[in-house]
Chains A and B, each alone.
Chain A
């Protein structure tokens, strides 16, 4: 057995080479200097695989009703939004009243049948594909992480803000640790002591975390989280005093969007936000006649987004904001035996904001289960994608963030991108 004495332990420990870096004094100045104007991107992820066919409903397709006898939304209840370029009549789910308002104001773009070839039916692999923007690589850095990596350093610790606890694949970056702040109110520091001892403690913690361990980079990684937390505490705290111009619904999703609005209004320097809301893995009990569990999901999504939209418009910041919504896959066309739907393929993406060119992009699938139907796959079981999601990423990177999508996505996805902004 290896025997290591305390003395060896200490000696080996202190022999390790370390260097320190100084935290920039005026982080917000750096943030301002890095600003591509002051545009914000808010990514909204509907977790679990959103049932696109009950979000944007081809309500006149006879197979819509026959393949979904229990969960089809009756034609009389959909919120009609006109037809797509293939003249397929479309309607929003009846609980998407907020989205229809935004659509009618020309600030909501709906892109039908978004996805990629050989769509994964796994939540985890699927989300990783959307995260890396590479169907062949489902680990490593994400598409937004690679964007962060292209920024001139040092990148401000609050450049991106993830409103979930776990860092989503999309925001995994090689050089920029992204803070996870699900609730700004809980983002404060406790101390073992009070008064001046508490200040000593915070100062010591900041110093200890400032060391970069060359031989143990994983320690530096954790130190990055510590340093990031200590450096952002005060700015994040400033969003807690925000008074919104509208009352947000009392859902986790809406409250996260309220925090995003507060951060934008307070100008704390964040440019990329990640917000998500779950429950979309509706294998069972989706609800019928436009009611039930799926209707609740739609209401949460729509009501939260409308409050955010209205708040930002009132603050004059709508033109600086782009919301991009996605989910890891759509669901099967036919309902299962438990009034739900199983994992499918192509889904729907949406973009919302002051600079968005609203409207319906792409064409709806024909839901005819004939295996020869070119708009479906998996023997007529699932919707086949028409628009590669990476073309939309390209549009956002090039047209909104002022980045180089070819470098970030590892290929040219500009051709065929819907002109949503």
Chain B
């Protein structure tokens, strides 16, 4: 790998998890639009990444005294997702799954507190077909990663984990429970400022009866094949009309009519459609996509927001044309905005593994560090998701990034030394190898560049011996991964 195609590298950092030896070779001479196609039309690549788990030329997973159980054990589910991010041939699908996980932020701990650890893991991460029952929430995000937002919103509203997370299961006729009704407006669609408290009451009533039920397997609720599925409890649905302060219907109608209990789910479908296709929702998603794909350092350009919202509305809330539009847009491709988005902890870890190496390394070694960096998968701090951008950075979280860099570099010491090949002839060449052949940091200015070089030169005169390279290669990888230049994508 060599860093020659900067624009493609930028695209791979933002819309994938960064280059690795393999992808770099493949895209060395590729055009931007080839790579956008590769990323966006990911259905052309096989969806077989899980079948590589356990293969020796891939990053490892660690089992805990038994089978690897990513459908029923949340730690294993986390490992499977990290594995997918490191190795998937459909990286944008995993990247968008991460985006939606943050957007519809649902935490395992509350779900497991209600249903138990095994059921909680199933509700968040069950891969379709592995066990009976509906797919886990994360699989919805993968399935609809670049699909239709309205469809995704509806699936999420019916998702058992969400029904537990935002208390839909206790939202009943006569005593509506506002949690989901509020957040679907405040966080999942158009944001505060567009609705009143009366709308929150009405929204809560819309979703009365949207519940879940436990389906026992073999007559035993503790059987691992037992699952939870969405259940519309017509008897608990509020059948009276619901009036909003904003239009629900295309004709401007603001009232969801009274309906029989049997037909009452239509209330929610009408409401979700109205929210999903509202221009304010389009704008809010555009602003979130700006911060995800374009930059953290500037507020969303109003022209970008209007253009992306337009694309979204014209395509009836289909996300694929929206993301394709962004990746081809001048905002995304402005070289001034390369390396101007703070990397999320998961992105930092996955990119580091892809660049430093993985042979003999387990993603399990990233789990506690990720928590210390402030991002535990399936455990966002609250329904608003993680505090992005500069919010990822504090002394404690940066310490965790530096410490993970040290762990990974120490683990990969011998692989790195071997990879240096003829670059070990001199300290400058060794540094050049790391900055331009192996890792993809933002450009180093002269000051820190010299500091790196003098680190290699510390102590004994340079001989390029294995012992010397073993120490300095690992140390350099740690210093670069732990530098501010590496914390941006």
Question: A interface vs B, CB < 8 Å?
Answer: 1-6, 9-10, 12-18, 20, 120-125, 157, 162, 165-167, 177-182, 186-193, 196-197, 200-201, 204-205, 207-209, 211, 213, 216, 218-223, 225-226, 228-229, 232-233, 283-285, 336-338, 340, 342-343, 378
Q: Which of A9, A187, A201, A338 has the most CB of B within 10 A?
A: A201
- Report chain B residues within 8 Å CB of A5: 4
Give the shortest distance, in Å, between B408 (CB) and chain A (any CB): 9
Number of chain B residues close to chain A: CB under 8 A: 80
Looking at the complex, which one of B186, B396, B447, B459 makes contact with A18 (CB distance below 8 Å)?
B447
What residue of chain A has the Cβ atom nearest to residue B449's Cβ?
A: A14
Given contacts A6-B436, A13-B443, A200-B459, contact A336 B452 (CB under 8 A): no
Residues of chain A lying within 8 A (CB to CB) of residue B197: 121, 378
Interchain CB contact under 8 A, A337 and B170: yes
As a 0/1 sequence over residues 373 to 400 of chain B, the CB contacts with chain A under 8 angstroms (1 = contact) are: 0100000011110110011011111110
- Other contacts beyond A204-B458, A211-B448, A337-B172: 5, CB < 8 A: A165-B374, A165-B394, A204-B452, A205-B479, A343-B178
CB-based contact B175/A338 at 8 Å = yes
Give chain B residues whose Cβ lies under 8 Å from the Cβ of A196: 459
Rounded to whole angstroms, the CA-CA distance of A338 and B211 in the bound complex is 13
Contact B297 A218 (CB under 8 A): yes
| Binding-face segment, B216-224, B257-265, B305-313, B470-478 | B470-478
- Cα–Cα distance between A378 and B479 once the two chains are bound (Å): 56
Minimum distance in angstroms from A160 CB to a CB of chain B: 11
What is the distance, in angstroms, from A121's C-beta to the closest C-beta of chain B? 7
Smallest CB–CB gap between B296 and chain A, Å? 8
Q: Are A192 and B406 in contact (CB under 8 A)?
A: yes
Shortest beta-carbon distance, A15 to chain B, in Å? 8
Whether A1 pairs with B32 at a CB distance below 8 angstroms is yes
Contact B444 A13 (CB under 8 A): yes
Contact, CB under 8 Å: B396 / A2: no
C-alpha spacing A338/B383, complex, angstroms? 20
User: Taking the complex as formed, is B359 at the interface, i.e. its CB lies under 8 A from any CB of chain A?
Assistant: no
In the bound complex, CA of A205 to CA of B478 (Å): 9
* Docked complex Cα distance between A18 and B445 (Å): 7
Whether the pair A229, B475 counts as a contact (CB closer than 8 A) is no
B335 at the interface (CB under 8 A from A): yes
Binding site for A on B (CB under 8 A): 2-4, 6-7, 31-32, 167, 170-172, 174-179, 182, 186, 192, 197, 200, 296-297, 333, 335, 340, 342, 372, 374, 381-384, 386-387, 390-391, 393-399, 402-403, 405-407, 409-410, 413, 436, 442-449, 451-452, 454-455, 458-459, 471, 474-475, 477-479, 482-485, 487-488
Q: Among B175, B394, B397, B485, which residue has its beta carbon within 8 angstroms of that of A219?
A: B485
A residues in contact with B449, CB < 8 Å:
13-14
- Distance between Cα atoms of A190 and B481 in the complex (Å): 13
Residues of chain A within 8 A (CB-CB) of B397 are: 165, 180, 225
Residues of A near B179 (CB, < 8 A) are: 283, 342
> Assuming the A-B contacts A197-B471, A219-B484, A226-B484, are A338 and B177 also in contact, with contact meaning beta carbons closer than 8 angstroms in the complex?
yes
Cβ-defined contact, B3 with A6, below 8 A: yes
Q: A218-B488, A283-B170, A340-B170 are in contact. Are A226 and B402 (CB under 8 A)?
A: yes
Which residues on the B side are within 8 Å of A180 (C-beta)?
394-397
A12 and B443 in contact (CB under 8 A), knowing A189-B403, A229-B395?
Answer: yes
Which of chain A's residues have a CB closer than 8 A to the CB of B174?
Answer: 337
| A291-B52 Cα distance, complex, nearest whole Å | 50
Interface hub of B200, B387, B448 (most chain A Cβ within 10 A): B448
- Are the C-beta atoms of B394 and A16 separated by less than 8 Å? no
**Residue contact A222 to B445, C-beta cutoff 8 Å:** no
Q: Nearest-CB distance from B223 to chain A (Å)?
A: 26
Residues of B within 8 A of A200 (CB): 455, 458-459, 475
Contact between B6 and A2 (Cβ–Cβ < 8 Å)? Answer: yes
B3 touching A9 by the CB < 8 A rule?
A: yes
Query: Please, which residue of chain A has its CB at the minimum distance from the CB of B33?
Result: A1
- In the complex the two chains form, is B455's CB within 8 Å of A336's CB? no
Whether B395 pairs with A201 at a CB distance below 8 angstroms is: no
Minimal beta-carbon separation of B90 from chain A (angstroms): 24
- Contact assessment for B487 and A222 in the assembled complex, using a CB-CB cutoff below 8 Å: yes
Of the candidates B182, B403, B447, B475, which one forms a contact with A190 in the assembled complex, judged by CB atoms under 8 Å apart?
B403
Could you tell me the distance between the alpha carbons of A9 and B3 in the complex, rounded to whole angstroms? Answer: 10
Q: Are B482 and A226 in touch, CB under 8 angstroms? A: yes
> Could you tell me if A336 and B7 are in contact, using CB atoms closer than 8 angstroms?
no
* Bound Cα distance A205, B448 (Å): 9
The interface residues of chain A lying within 8 Å CB-to-CB of B405 are 192
B130 to chain A, nearest CB (A): 31
> Which residues from chain B contact A4 at a C-beta distance below 8 Å?
6, 335
Contact check, A338 vs B402: say whether CB atoms are below 8 A apart. Answer: no
Task: Please list the 6 inter-chain residue pairs (A to B) with the smallest Cβ-Cβ separation, ordered nearest first.
Answer: A337-B175, A338-B170, A13-B443, A180-B394, A222-B484, A179-B395
Rounded to whole angstroms, the CA-CA distance of A396 and B397 in the bound complex is 30
Question: Are A336 and B474 within 8 A (Cβ)?
Answer: no
- How distant is the Cα of A227 from the Cα of B477 in the complex, in angstroms? 19
Chain A residues closer than 8 Å to B374, beta-carbon distance: 165-166
* A14 closest partner in B (C-beta): B446
CB <8 Å contact, B170 and A221: no
CA A167 to CA B390, docked complex, whole Å: 10
B396 touches A187 (CB 8 A): yes
Within the complex, the shortest CB–CB distance from A181 to chain B, in Å, comes to 5
Chain A CB within 10 Å, residue with most, of B6, B296, B398, B410: B398
Residue of A nearest to B392 (CB): A166
* CB atoms of B487 and A337 under 8 A apart: no
**Cβ–Cβ < 8 Å partners of B31 in chain A:** 1
**Complex CA–CA separation, A231 to B446 (angstroms):** 23
Shortest beta-carbon distance, A101 to chain B, in Å? Answer: 31
Q: Which residues of A contact B383 (CB under 8 A)?
A: 123
Complex CA gap A343/B197 in Å reads 10
